[in-house]
Amino acid sequence: MNNLLRSPEIIAKFLKINKVDTVFGLCGGHIMPIWMELDKAGIRIIDTRDERAAVFMAHSYSEFSGKIGVALVTAGPGLTNALTGIANAHISRVPLLVISGTPPIFQENRGALQDINHVEIVKSVTRYSKTVRHESLIVNEMNQAFYHALGIIGESGPSFIEFPTNVLRTKVNISQIFKEFYEPIVKTFPLPENSKVMDLLNLLNSSKRILLISGRGARRCNANLSQFLEKFKVLYLDTAESKGIIDEDHENFVPSMRSKVMETSDLIITLCRKLDFQLAYGSPAIFGNAKFVRISDTPTEISHNRRGEIELVADPKIILDQLIELSDVSKLSTDKIWFEDIKNKHKERKEKYSNILKDSKNGTDGRMHPNKIVHAINAILPKKNIVIADGGDFLSFCRVGVNANRYLDPGPFGCLGVGLPFGIGAKIADPESHVFVLTGDGSFGFTAIELDTLVRHKVPIIIIVANNGSWGIEVRDQIDNYGKVVGTKLQFSDYSLMAKSFGLHSVKVDKSENLEKEIINALDKKPALIDVEVTQEAVSADAKSGLAIVPDLQALETWDEKEKKFRDIEN
């Protein structure tokens, strides 16, 4: 009986046991033994044109499959190319495993080909980063990498593990591998403390104006969340990482009243959400004297920038279930006038905004307004859809206006170029959903070569490029604050011709009346790209907010002024 396994066999076996069926990567000599073994084991390899895109795809795959995303990149520039994707996943707390190779141990630090200290490079943007220097430790180290990536140990995010090529050429006696390391790794969540749940129930009953803001961990409990909002008369805001988990028609969902409801609530519940720049860091300058309740399955989210009157680290789904079971409408203290006023004003603004999307005028250059793309997409979105938004200026229009079931964008790292790779990863994770990538032309350029990957792997998605021939937000910043445009204009390139050269169905659209028809046509001809020329004159909400000038105390100019006033700081 053969008791020996080759190192790459051990790696592939571990991944298979943990339900990894797809790996994204770009091949190279330092990882070739792993690459070929994954193929032999029946793990699908999506080979990309750039390592950054491979990590982006693994990121999106993780988000929409609920499983860990895996990227395989070669040594040296393979790893450094991947670094932006790793950093983006780190900031967004997405479970990833990035595997790489390194020169043989004997050649280490002697000037070998592609020899650089990978672990030191990625240490600040990974949860776990190790070089496996002995074959008997492969399963142990991969186990640790999974535990950290999934957030079983600490906060979820990317793990990095690499293998010297000489280690990949060795064999291991299976007696050296403890059986428990070959058991599937499953993340479980702690149960809530009953006394804290009761304290929260009392606080909910005594509070008059309650707002809940959701984050990524809330995705697991959308049905429970909807029922909780209704039972306790709680108003609701999502964030980019939780967009779509509550239906946009839910009567307690009031995104158009974001500033008002944040400023006037007396109790703020953060459900699996940090208080980062998008939420004014929880500052009293914005939230006034409101009390905070912090609920999360991740301890690091509980005390981020503000402590809570009540802090619960537990499975949010169970917490909401228990509160729903204990609810008694007769004990609520809801400020009904405030509650109804916010909802009614949101409905008015929502209807007004819908008309704005539909009626947005062309620019003086004759090109259409980006809102026309958003309106057309909303009109034809199939019931089961995923929308990926990418860009600076165009992202702002999409984030506010698109009615997606599920949604992903660059996230708090502001990492442009994710659109096309995210779309590929999303479709592979969920083949039944219609995937739309809405991207600005600048951001599209970062990873446009992945059109080749899209076609080779037959991934049927639709890409719409909002082509305004510029870096829109930066142009607006330069015009408003410097009086001169420098290095922020692009060409009005024909991206439909580029897509056609790769074998996609593609079309260029310059009239809004043709747009919806062309999108419907593309649904039957995927993969497809639609290049839409839009006016440079459109000004997004983010451009108006002062986001580009990076104010001193807060992300937005209006918040920055309030923060200065709160801290009694002169301009």
- Could you give the residue numbers annotated as active site? 474
Question: Which residue type does 34 have?
Answer: I
End-to-end CA distance of the chain: 79
Q: Rounded distance, CA 409 to CA 91, Å?
A: 13
Residues in the chain: 571
Compute how many other C-beta atoms are within 10 angstroms of the C-beta atom of residue 165: 19
d(CA 285, CA 551): 15
Q: Do 273 and 301 touch, CB atoms closer than 8 A?
A: yes
Lookup result for tokens 């949010």? 316
Sole residue written with tokens 């939780």: 242
Max distance between CA atoms of the chain, in angstroms, equals: 80
Radius of gyration, alpha carbons of the chain: 25
Helix or strand run (H / E) with residue 434: strand 434-440
Q: Are 209 and 264 in contact (CB under 8 A)?
A: yes
**What is the signed CA dihedral for 327, 333, 334, 337, rounded to 10 degrees?**
150
Do residues 88 and 422 touch, judged by C-beta distance below 8 A? no
Dump strand ranges (E) for 165-305: 171-173, 210-214, 235-237, 267-271, 291-296
For strands 385-390 and 406-408, give the pairing: parallel
Which SS3 state, helix, strand or coil, does residue 217 take? Answer: helix
Helical pair 7-17 and 138-149, crossing angle rounded to 10 deg = 30
Rounded distance between C-alpha atoms, residue 530 and residue 515, angstroms? 9
**Alpha-carbon distances, residue 154 vs 145, 297, 312, 570 (angstroms):** 12, 11, 16, 41
Rounded Cα–Cα distance for residues 266 and 210 (Å):
6
> Rounded to whole angstroms, how far apart are CA atoms 285 and 288?
6
Read off the DSSP letter of residue 440. Answer: E
Amino acid 284 reads: P
Which DSSP symbol is given to 124? Answer: G
Question: Distance between CA 189 and CA 210 in Å, rounded?
Answer: 26
Instruction: Return the closest-CA partner of residue 274 out of 299, 257, 255.
Output: 299
CB proximity list for 351: less than 8 A, separation 6 or greater? none
CB of 457 within 8 A of CB of 46? yes
In the numeric block, which tokens belong to residue 456?
Answer: 């080779």
Quick check: helix, strand or coil at residue 510? coil
Say how far apart CA 35 and CA 30 lie, in whole Å.
Answer: 10
ω before 410 within 30° of 0 (cis)? no
